């Protein structure tokens, strides 16, 4: 860890959705620091359904920002032992109402490494078959499924209308793949 060494600390909070740790570190310059870390479950998946010309996004309320935002379907890896691709398939069906015939891993990334260890797997979902959605919870039940041409979605990013980082990463990863 480039001269950083954890010397103490531990879990200070266990909630239903997050666990928080507080840790003491020695620093390379001989000093010390304390950091609080949000420990994620087994990570999450992001899935970008793509028809060949359009992407499927959600407009969904998020309490943390108290707004309805554009998002890619996504979810926690909360089924023990489930492969990330299987989680992506499940989330695509639950949230967007599409079953992917093909999933391709585009990227893995840390969501917010400044304070969390959560890692996400980003999948492109293709060869889509419409199926009944199976929303989980009030936000998903009220969510609107939106189909946008990729250039239109990228325009919403440029205009500041799409602010969700995982969705921006997904759209740019797809754009790069198609270039």
pLDDT in tens, 82-131: 899 999 999 999 999 999 999 999 999 999 999 898 999 999 999 999 99
Residue 66 a catalytic site member:
no
Q: Average pLDDT over the chain, rounded to whole? A: 93
CB 72 within 8 A of CB 153: no
Q: Is the pLDDT of residue 41 over 80?
A: no
Q: What is the pLDDT of residue 46?
A: 93
Q: Tally Cβ neighbours within 10 Å of residue 140.
A: 19
CA nearest neighbour of 121 among 53, 169, 64: 169
Q: Which CATH class for the 44-178 domain?
A: alpha beta
Q: What is the pLDDT of residue 80?
A: 82
Which pLDDT band holds residue 134 (cuts at 50, 70, 90)?
confident
Burial bucket for residue 91 (CB in 10 Å: 0-12, 13-18, 19+): buried
Q: What is the pLDDT of residue 124?
A: 98
Q: What is the pLDDT of residue 168?
A: 97
Q: What is the pLDDT of residue 164?
A: 97
- The tens digit of pLDDT for each residue in 159-178 reads 999 999 999 999 999 999 99
Rounded to two decimals, the pTM is 0.88
Residues of the chain with CATH 3.90.79.10: 44-178
Distance of CA 129 to the CA centre of its chain: 22
Strand order in the sheet with 67-71: 67-71, 54-62, 144-149
Q: Give me the catalytic one of 82, 119, 126, 139.
A: 139
Q: What is the pLDDT of residue 137?
A: 86
């Amino acid at each position: 860890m480039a001269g950083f060494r954890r010397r103490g600390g531990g879990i200070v909070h266990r909630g239903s959705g997050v666990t928080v740790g507080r840790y003491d570190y020695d620093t390379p310059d001989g000093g010390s620091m304390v950091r609080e870390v949000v420990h994620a479950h087994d990570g999450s998946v992001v899935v970008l359904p793509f028809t060949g010309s359009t992407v499927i996004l959600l407009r969904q309320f998020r309490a943390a920002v108290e707004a309805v935002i554009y998002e890619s379907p996504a979810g926690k890896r909360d089924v023990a032992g489930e492969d990330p691709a299987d989680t992506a398939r499940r989330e695509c069906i639950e949230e967007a109402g599409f079953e992917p015939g093909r999933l391709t891993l585009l990227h893995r990334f840390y969501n917010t490494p400044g304070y969390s260890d959560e890692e996400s797997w980003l999948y492109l979902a293709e060869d889509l078959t419409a199926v009944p959605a199976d929303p989980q919870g009030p936000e998903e039940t009220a969510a609107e499924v939106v189909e946008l041409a990729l250039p239109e979605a990228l325009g919403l990013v440029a205009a500041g209308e799409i602010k969700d980082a995982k969705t921006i990463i997904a759209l740019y990863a797809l754009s790069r793949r198609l270039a």
